[in-house]
Amino acid sequence: MHNSKAVLNTLKPILATQSKLTALPPLSLYIHFPWCEKKCPYCDFNSHQIKEGKQGFDEARYIQALIADLETELPRVWGRQVHSIFIGGGTPSLLSANGMNELLSAIRARVNLEPDCEITMEVNPGSVEAEKLAGFARAGINRVSLGIQSFQDEQLKALGRIHNGEEAKRAIAIALQHFKSVNLDLMFGLPNQTLEAAKADIETALSFKTPHLSFYNLTLEPNTYFASFPPKLPSEDEIDAIFEQNLALLEAAGYRRYEVSAYAKKDQECKHNLNYWRFGDYIGIGAGAHGKISFPDKITRQVRERHPETYMQAMETKGNALIEARDISAKDLPFEFMLNVLRLTDGVDTVTFGERTGLPLNVVSKGLDEASKKGLLDLNPNKLKATEQGLRYLNNLQEMFL
């Protein structure tokens, strides 16, 4: 597996050919909802603040655009079953329960969903109403992801969140009444965060016994308010201490780290995100949505118009809102594959590389050799799996496959 000599002789002819897939990977559906009540200073997602005092978006019009967008994709995925749906944003919980029911009903009429299809929506704790969540559950949502970030009012204020700590707890309690599967998003390395405050956040989250937790390090992303006006963040050593402390707390409570930022109780991993990280396929509809669809002889990517108004106009006037549609070159496929699968703590079997890219494993021999020698990649020849050191320095590991 880790012999790189063959690469020198085989790389050019291999990369000159198209990939050939013997089977298509699982298929998911991603739906982007682009509006939020307030743009957070750290957020680099495609989200647009609604006008104060107004609904700020035309729900019926946007849902019709989404349905039309899905219909443009049907010929590309005909006959394939969808095994998960994820509605992200923005703040999808700004949709009405009736609107969600209309959208999911339209999807069921057009695509073949697996009987136990996981259907997740992101929910802002500041927009949680008990009756509305009950309506989302009746519409078919069976998993929610709550953007908690912290339970400390001071931290939430620094992060520009619209909820406080008590509202976060209330939102979790309501969600657990209506959904079997609830994820809590938490952040660490927050402005002026102490080890004790970070521990309190995790302990509060653990008290709710949700089946899944996401635990992210706050990063200053380009083109955000925080990038222009950076807050005072803990030092690298302090952030490492917070991570190690909270990792131990999570593991002691029965949560297994299965991806860089994701922790789950047994058999409660997020099916949708696992499909991304295993280089599966996904239809992406909505403003700014990305999609990846495989065919026997090629793998394609698409990007939609980012601005909601431009997106809806494009769907209404042209019948599609694509701003990019391209085949992934054989040269880029290995990096795109490794970029995803190396996030998984269990990695994937080496045979998955050929199954998902259509390329022989020896095209990445050089990177595998280098990563193994540096202790970033597991030495098991049947696995593509980062070591603990590899997960810690994931960017460096991924770059070896550029």
8 Å CB contact between 283 and 70: yes
Q: How many helices (H) and strands (E) does the chain have?
A: 16, 16
Q: What element of type H or E holds 294? A: strand 290-295
- Are residue 268 and residue 171 in the same domain, yes or no? yes
User: Do 6 and 46 sit in the same domain of this protein?
Assistant: no
- Specify the pLDDT at position 292: 98
- Longest pairwise C-alpha distance within the chain: 65
Q: Do 143 and 249 fall into the same domain? A: yes
Whole-angstrom distance, CA of residue 393 vs CA of residue 376? 8
Q: Quick one: 72 and 150 in the same domain? A: yes
Q: Are residues 133 and 60 in the same domain?
A: yes
Quick one: 186 and 264 in the same domain?
Answer: yes
**Are 267 and 335 contained in the same domain?**
no
More confident of the two residues 228 and 257: 257
Within 8 A by CB and 6+ apart from 356, the residues are 21, 25, 278, 279, 280, 294, 337
Assigned domain for 300 exists: no
111, part of any domain? yes
Q: Based on the domain organization, do 122 and 260 belong to the same domain?
A: yes
Model confidence at 19, pLDDT cuts 50, 70, 90, reads low
Question: Based on the domain organization, do 37 and 9 belong to the same domain?
Answer: no
The confidence score (pLDDT) of residue 394 equals: 94
Residue 40 φ/ψ, nearest 5 degrees: -75, 145
Please give the residue that has the higher pLDDT: either 227 or 113: 113
Domain of residue 57, CATH code: 3.20.20.70
Report the distance separating Cα 178 and Cα 104, nearest Å. Answer: 18
Of residues 337 and 47, the one with the higher pLDDT is 337
Q: How far apart are CA 307 and CA 323, in angstroms?
A: 12
| 321 within some domain | no
Containing structural domain, residue 371:
1-19+330-402
- CB 142 within 8 Å of CB 180: yes
Strand 27-33 with 81-89, pairing: parallel
Q: How many domains would you assign to the chain?
A: 2
For the cut 80, the answer to whether the pLDDT of residue 71 exceeds it is yes
Residue 13 pLDDT exceeds 90 = no
* Mean pLDDT value across residues 39-63: 76
Q: What is the pLDDT of residues 75-92, one digit of tens each?
A: 999 999 999 999 999 899
Q: Among the three residues 211, 246, 276, which one is the final residue of a domain in this structure?
A: 276
- Over residues 307-364, the pLDDT tens digits come to 999 999 999 999 999 999 999 999 999 999 999 999 999 999 999 999 999 999 999 9
Residue 361 located in a structural domain: yes
Q: Judge if 148 and 203 occupy the same domain.
A: yes
Residues 237 and 369 in one domain: no
Is 308 a domain residue? Answer: no
Residues 183, 259 within the same domain: yes
Residue 77 lies in a domain: yes
- CB of 199 closer than 8 Å to CB of 180: no
pLDDT for res 52: 54
Does some domain include residue 98? yes
CATH number for the domain spanning 377: value is: 1.10.10.920
What integer is the mean pLDDT of 92-102? 96
Does residue 311 lie in a domain region?
A: no
> Whole-model pTM above 0.85?
yes
Length of the chain: 402
Helix 97-110, helix 59-73: angle, nearest 10: 20
**Own/partner long-range contacts of 8-16 (Cβ < 8 Å, ≥24 apart):** 10/360, 10/362, 10/363, 11/363, 14/330, 14/359, 14/360, 14/362, 14/363, 15/329, 15/330, 15/331, 15/363, 16/330
**Alpha carbons 33 and 246: distance in angstroms, whole number:** 32
